[in-house]
Amino acid sequence: MKSLYILVFVAFFNLSQAQNTEIKGKITPENNIENFYATVTIKQTGEKTTTDNLGNFEFYNLKAGKYTLLFTSLGYAPQTKEIVLQDNEKMNLSISMGENINELQTVEITGRKEKSYKNTKSFIGAKTEIALKDLPQAVSYATKELIADQGAIRVGEVVKNFSGVSQFTFYDDISIRGFRINGQSNTQLLNGLRTSTGFWKQPLANYLERVEVLKGPSSALFGNASPGGVVNRVTKKPLDKAANSISFSTGSFNTLRALTDFTGPLNEKKTLLYRLNLGYENANSFRDLQFDKNIVIAPSLSFLPNDKTRVNLDLIYTSSKSILDRGQSTYENDLYSTKTSQSLNSTNDYLNEETYILTTSLNHQFTDKLSFSSSYIRTGYSEDLLEHRGANKYAVDGDGATIPTQIEMQVFMRKRKRYIDNISSFLNYKAETGTLTHNLILGFDYAQEQVPAGGSQLQARGYRNATNTGAIATYNPNNKNAYLLDSKGNPVPNVAHFDLANPSSSQQLKDISKYFYTTVPFEQSYYSTYGVYVQDHIKWGELQALIGFRYDEYIDRTNYNKPTEEKVKQHSLLPRIGLTYTISPNINLYSTYVTGYNPQTASVIANPNAGGPFDPLENDMIEAGGKSSWFNDKLFVTLALYKIEQKNTLYTANDAGNPDLMRAIGKEESKGIEVDITGNILPQWSISVAYSYNESHITDSPVAEEIGRQKPNTPANQGNIWTRYNFTNGTLKDFGIAFGANYVTTRTMSQTNTQTLPGYAVMNAALYYTIDKFKLQLNANNLANKTYWVGGYDYIRLFPGAPRNWMLTLGYSF
């Protein structure tokens, strides 16, 4: 019995010694981001713990002895520390972790934890994550923090922050360095994958982490794309800590908006993370009859079963009910003759759109040097439309003379669908050869787009025939007897003209059963493209080289699903060469040469009246510049000089019988200089500045007067500034104030050689008040109530900017 007491005493003594031995510590990231998390592992025992949001960790009940601690966090270089624990010792450690770009993920899985206007890394420029300062190509971006501060909710409202980027119309339609891209083209990117939107309306963007533009041809990375650049929308990803927010907004034009953002772990080990963004909008417009009713549901899941495997699933569902706005029309050659609020619609018009985008991605790390990534995206779009719209010309009288105060009208009833698939997979291998380090990528992309059967359009236009049993598309005064004439000898329109002098009478409910229609089918179409590419990011001391080659093949099936179906193939070999040299830790110089192409088949143009197919667009770019950081890496500056050349661009053929008919010109050139400044001057002072000078001209064309003309809706000069200051002390503590302005110079319109749009400058401001978890925000836009136009085709289709307006937002975070 005595021996038993001794054993029990020894056991309790040893237990008490173990319980008094512990390790505590704090991990601090070098970039001092908020809410930093890391994992700490004891290699000898496999025991793990996760820090709290301040980086604190602790281990208890350890035995005395030697241990190796491993500190890891996504986006940071792993750290190890050897320690020796003595009996009853309470060790306290302080660990600093620095970013390591070469050890980051190859697909964007987990959410960004930075909370500022500045973003340090991107996936868009090299397929894998790379520091923006090391990328030999200009990238402009806006983070969710900048977007929220400006009260922006759509991509078109965000692009004014980017140098060289402007709206072409007020649709999902922009110009980058003088080259137009729009949402209907599937060269737009979501998380680096090809997708599209509906073009007509810009969806809510509350689910976006940031919007970024890779300047110049990107075909060597993503296949056929615009030479000006490519827009990438990066969605919010799940975070490994709970963070929830909800906001309500109301303001001008009877706007009501509600947004939510919920994220956090779904299990204790934080291997399953979620994020859910919801959006609802019910708003009118400064434009007559216009409204938007939008719903967005955007869930995201991340599964991280271990340190080697990551899986992500995203869904974005949007439902939009609105009216399609074809723009403002004015009296012939009189820009200020009508109100910017005036639209050509009728009360019973509608546009119903539905879009879903499903994305899944996988990243697996086989070894420290070899990893595999694969992503798939599926886009589905449907459109249901009824619209009264202009026929892109003024009405005519019995002698064929223009009536400058009346617009010839037409009616469209349309239903169609479109589906897009894209898969992108690549192997990533890191190696060293002597003093060189390599980051090699070998990849394969495949994309396809299909327009299924059933798409069609009823179109009512032109003038009634003499027997009033049908309509003739155009009026010929030399053959009056073929037309129904009124008491004044003028032809009777199939759809009543829009009277610019009395718009309210033309905007009433219309009996659409009284029109004569023709059917315009949207033929089934199907095209696919695939590419294989190899890329190496080489480092040699202060010099870096990004070298890549891509082979692309594009297949369009003309007369799809018909006996005469035929495959039309186009292919290209696209090089990309870029150099970056580090002068100092804060300054990098770079230069790059890239090429690109974009097919112009009937499938791509998506307009049955445009003609074609045409020869593909072929382009190349030379760019050089510098990137630097200031104020302890809080402020980032990019300077870029570039020259882009492209041939075979399409312009209107100015055919009176077919205003949609296009033709290809010989060559065009865009060259200029751009400056982007983004980040913080002081911790409480944020700023975003952009300026660009662009000369974008047609240099070779069969129409002599077009040579030397500035490209449509492309200002020679444009700039933007937005700055916010937060008060941290004194009477104004917890308040913030922001001011912004953007300007563009005169622009040429796309459908005319003689009409131009004046330049403009618009000023905006905002006030903020934050207390505890509540935030009150007031945005005021166009403070001077400036009349301006963001773009236009001609004086029949102008796209005015909004007059003075305001938005009040109340938000709560928890």
* Model pLDDT, residue 112: 60
| pLDDT tens digits, 110-157 | 566 567 898 888 888 888 888 899 999 999 999 999 999 999 999 889
Q: Which residue has the tokens 């708003």?
A: 283
* Model pLDDT, residue 18: 44
* Cβ-count burial 507-519 (b if 16+ within 10 Å, e if not): beebebeebbbee
Class of domain 233-458+519-813: mainly beta
Taking phi first (over 0 means left), then psi (-120 to 50 degrees means alpha), and beta for anything else, what does residue 160 get? alpha
* Model pLDDT, residue 628: 96
* Model pLDDT, residue 484: 96
* Model pLDDT, residue 608: 61
* Model pLDDT, residue 632: 85
DSSP 769: E
Superfamily of domain 104-232: TonB-dependent receptor, plug domain (2.170.130.10)
793 Cβ contact partners less than 8 Å away, ≥ 6 residues apart: 169, 327, 392, 749, 750, 751, 752
Segments in the chain below pLDDT 50: 1, 4-5, 7-18, 101-106
* Model pLDDT, residue 11: 46
* Model pLDDT, residue 664: 77
Length of the chain: 814
Q: Which listed CATH number (2.60.40.10, 3.40.640.10, 2.40.10.220, 2.40.70.10) goes with 2-99?
A: 2.60.40.10
- Where are the chain's structural domains? 2-99, 104-232, 233-458+519-813
How far is residue 444's CA from residue 439's CA, in Å, rounded to a whole number?
17
Query: Can you read off the two tokens belonging to residue 23?
Result: 């390790």
3-state secondary structure (DSSP) of residue 3: helix
How far is residue 756's CA from residue 747's CA, in Å, rounded to a whole number?
6
Strand-by-strand arrangement of the 39-42 sheet: 48-50, 39-42, 65-73, 76-85
799 Cβ contact partners less than 8 Å away, ≥ 6 residues apart: 167, 169, 170, 327, 328, 789, 790, 791, 792
Of 277, 299, 271, 290, nearest to 205 by C-alpha is 277
CB atoms within 10 A of CB 322: 19
DSSP 326: -
* Alpha carbon separation from 352 to 320, 324, 384, 387 (Å, rounded): 6, 9, 5, 11
Matching fold, domains 2-99 and 104-232: no
- The answer to whether 241 touches 53, Cβ cutoff 8 Å, is yes
* Alpha carbon separation from 521 to 59, 459, 474, 596 (Å, rounded): 70, 10, 20, 32
Farthest-apart Cα atoms in the chain, separation = 128
How far is residue 447's CA from residue 531's CA, in Å, rounded to a whole number?
9
